[in-house]
Structure 1
Amino acid sequence: MGQSVSDLPSRLLRNLTAWRNAKAWRVAFSGGLDSTVLLHLLAHLAKHHSLPALSAIHIHHGLQAAADAWPAHCQSVCDALGVPLHVMRVTVQPGASLERAAREARYAAFASLTEAGDLFLTGQHRDDQAETLLFRLMRGAGVRGLSAMPAQRPLGQGVLLRPLLDVTRTELEAYARAHQLRWIEDPSNEDRQFSRNYLRHQVLPLLTARWPQAQASMARSAAHLREAQGLLDELAQLDLAQAVTPSEFSWLGLPSLELAPLTNLSAARQRNALSHWLEPLTRLPDTDHWSGWNDLCGAASDASPVWRLADGELHRSAGRVWWLSGGWLRAPAVSVEWPDPSTPLRLANNGRVMFSGQTPVGPLRIGYRQGGELMHLAGRGHRDLKRLLNERAVPGFVRGRLPLLFRGTELLAVANLPGLDGQGPDGWKLHWQPTDEDQGLR
């Protein structure tokens, strides 16, 4: 790279210029080489520059006995630098990939600690970027995955920044030796069973022996791919603008898209637009799983197809696709009494209902459609509820959880549906607030 260890502080400060007015700088501090150098650099920069409040966060996964000593080591380093340390224990969920499960637990903890106006800093460097690119290449990743690690992205209520992505591990080691820093060597980093370790110890040394600039070249390729992904994101936004149309059921509070503008696009543009829309909602499907989208679009017009994804479901109904997650995937209780209609009634797995206007005389209960219900309408007599829902094009997934107001066996009202939700403009109306949850946003 042709730059010396003495350049590191100025290079780091340059990468942090845009964040000098952040509320706080929080550093992910494992105690390893990368985060030790990053924390040391920041602590010493803070002595000579006006910087935001600096603190460190150590995540204790509890996956190996050696890790029990690491919080004490991290505390001693932070005490010497005058940096406050927060140690947080996390539970790693068992699964096929321990690497991935530990990472997800770690970043969930980071997100929970990152407040509005905070900058969260991690120590990944250029060698890590090359590993990430190779790792994702071996998994058959697309443009988004091969973009590798972005220099910054949203995290919690703040922003995650990786300010050392243009620095090599060799430079970090040289800095650590020059300043006589002590760091933890995680024994698991030598375990070649882990894919990243295999790449680090077996593959990358062979590549750099043949092509000394291999890691710099891979980092440059990742940057090109990030630019390409940016163009694909712009195209997705243009395509989605045609599909993000108003719905008469916007009160459901669910993300939805009009289907026709999407199906008019080429298959590749459909996947690109939908991936962009789904990305904040769920882990994206792999290539093989995209057949679920084709099945959803190709199902018969009178069908209600569902595409199940990692963190929720995509439903097709009423000419739109709808994203359902959380409480929407849990069945509501069959029936519940409403002893005091003057106060809102909370429904299990289904939000709450309330009245406006004079409440009807009881005893009242809230139930759900079982089939065969009839409702008396002024001037129309008794009408089948299924037909009434069809007339209003109520999405199929809503029908089984629309709160129905009964007095005895008499169906008095269907929440939120004009003409069915109460007794005239001067009477009462039944209102349903479907959920109190944030709809699936990760």
Structure 2
Amino acid sequence: MNIYTQGWTENDHLAIAVSTGVDSMVLLDVLTTEFAHTYQKLTVLHVNHGIREASKEEEQFIRDYCEKHQIPLAVHHLDLSELTAQGKSIQHTAREQRYDWFETHMKTIGANVLVTAHHQDDQLETIFYRIMTGRSTRSPLGMSVQETRPGFKLVRPLLNVTKRVIRQYQVTNEVPYYEDASNTDNHYVRNDIRNRILPEIDENPQLDVSQLLKLKQWHDAQFQQLQDTADRFIQENTETEQERINIDRNAFNQLMHSQKTTVMDKLLNKWTKNQPISEHAYHEWFAQLESSAAQAVIYATDKWNIQIVYDKFIIMGYTDTDLTPKRITQSGHYQFGTYQIIIDETIEDADLPIVVRVRQAGDRFVLPQNRGHQKVNRLMINRKVPGYERDRLPILLNKQGEIVAVGTLFTAPNYEKKLEITNLGV
């Protein structure tokens, strides 16, 4: 059988995910016979989902098989009882838990390559599924023959091998396996695609499901161009300052919708890895960015927000910086959020303690040369301070309760040599 072996070397430790189905058992047989010389060590990983009676038999089967062939084996049991009791689908959760364990256990045993038995028919199913569920515009159309995961490489050696070839190999070499009865249940969308839809398409002599592979090749080339365009845009039109990303609003509005989506996916990836933003939300955000609004909050969560600030829009991540009021009784260096406050030794006892806090309703300070008072909020508006920053700016008050400094915006004349405030987040 012609399989993909370029994903590892003779010095690598392979871990193979084996369900005991025909695909993974054939791959295991191929790797331990014809291709045993291509790696240094191989370990079998088996996950018992515990939701079918046959799960126990399958586990015992793979234990006996590995013992007979002297192959190292690790078995992991999942507890999905809570989900099944609630009548919820377990496929997504089970997959996440499988791969979490794969990653953890591979580190334990020192394996650096995970191989799975996904084959060409699985690829066709995945392509069809992503097209028909609208998931083809923001990711590659199908699976990759290899990809990098945290701490290991994932390789699919059978991705260009058809199911028919796999079954022929099984018959010829008498490879034992267990058939998962749930694979015939068309209640699951992927099973329905695999068992009913794609075979019916193939029955029409004018149709050929393998054309989906050509579509994937074209799609992935276009997708890569989108990625490259987005990377160039981010490099040329954004500025990153710790937890804040400043984006040129006009330049962003000139992009096509697909380019905007890709740029946003990349910029938000730090906060949305497991919860991508919906297309509907993006449509609303893009409309706001194209509006005449000078300042507006587009979206906010407890981890990050997006705000329009005049000719830019800003993605701001929240940090665990301390904004609780501080009472300073002597000179020195102090931290307040992202700001550093230096109290000089020339500070007088009559000024201490200095209280540092965020703004409060009605805050006012005395203008230089006693030209009256100004509200702190008005100062922030005049100086075009972004909304997200207004509630983080340090306000300093002396012993008499007078505001003597408003962040980096204002310092009372008689305190200019006594105080120094710097925003370390800029």
Q: Please list, as runs of the form range in 1=range in 2, the aligned pairs for 1:405-416 lying within 5 A after superposition.
A: none
SS class of match (1:304): strand
* Aligned equivalent of 1:82, options 64, 71, 77: 71
* Residue aligning to 1:261: 251
Instruction: Say if 2:12 is the partner of 1:12.
Output: no
Determine the C-alpha separation between the residues in 1 that align with 2:259 and 2:187.
38
* Residue aligning to 1:321: 313
* Aligned equivalent of 1:55, options 32, 35, 43: 43
* Residue aligning to 1:31: 20
* Aligned equivalent of 2:390, options 374, 399, 423: 399
* Aligned equivalent of 2:134, options 140, 147, 151: 140
What one-letter code is carried by the residue in structure 2 that aligns with 1:172? I
* Aligned equivalent of 1:302, options 275, 281, 294: 294
* Maintained 8 Å contact 2:285/2:298: no
Instruction: Say if 2:164 is the partner of 1:170.
Output: yes
**Structure 1 residue 317, shift from structure 2 partner:** 3.0
SS class of match (2:169): helix
Determine the C-alpha separation between the residues in 1 that align with 2:166 and 2:29.
11
Determine the C-alpha separation between the residues in 2 that align with 1:66 and 1:234.
48
Q: How many residues align?
A: 410
SS class of match (1:265): coil
TM-score w.r.t. length of structure 2: 0.74
Q: Please list, as runs of the form range in 1=range in 2, the aligned pairs for 1:94-105 lying within 5 A after superposition.
A: 98-105=90-97
Structure 1 residue runs of 5 or longer lacking an equivalent are 1-6, 435-442
Q: Please list, as runs of the form range in 1=range in 2, the aligned pairs for 1:134-213 lying within 5 A after superposition.
A: 134-145=128-139, 147-211=141-205
Q: Deviations over 1:243-287 (max 9, x none)?
A: 22x3xxx44423442222111234444334434544565344444
Instruction: Say if 2:280 is the partner of 1:291.
Output: no
**Structure 1 residue 166, shift from structure 2 partner:** 0.1
SS class of match (1:12): coil
TM-score w.r.t. length of structure 1: 0.72
* Maintained 8 Å contact 2:130/2:141: no
**Percent identity of equivalent pairs:** 20
What one-letter code is carried by the residue in structure 2 that aligns with 1:163? P
Q: 1:321 to 1:396 in 2, by over 3 A?
A: same
* Maintained 8 Å contact 1:26/1:120: yes
* Maintained 8 Å contact 1:25/1:53: yes
Q: Deviations over 1:296-329 (max 9, x none)?
A: 31444233132469x965433353333456x56x
Q: 1:340 to 1:162 in 2, by over 3 A?
A: farther
SS class of match (1:242): helix
Structure 2 residue runs of 5 or longer lacking an equivalent are none
Q: Deviations over 1:166-202 (max 9, x none)?
A: 0112222333344443334333322211100111111
What one-letter code is carried by the residue in structure 1 that aligns with 2:212? M
* Residue aligning to 1:4: none
* Maintained 8 Å contact 2:323/2:392: no
Q: Relative to structure 2, which stretch is displaced further, 335-344 or 81-90?
A: 335-344
RMSD: 4.6
**Structure 1 residue 352, shift from structure 2 partner:** 8.0
Q: Deviations over 1:135-176 (max 9, x none)?
A: 122213444457222223332244333222101122223333
Determine the C-alpha separation between the residues in 2 that align with 1:165 and 1:365.
65
Determine the C-alpha separation between the residues in 2 that align with 1:344 and 1:31.
62
* Maintained 8 Å contact 1:90/1:109: no
Q: Please list, as runs of the form range in 1=range in 2, the aligned pairs for 1:258-407 lying within 5 A after superposition.
A: 258-278=248-268, 282=272, 283-307=275-299, 313-324=305-316, 335=324, 367-374=357-364, 384-390=375-381, 393-402=384-393
Determine the C-alpha separation between the residues in 1 that align with 2:53 and 2:340.
54
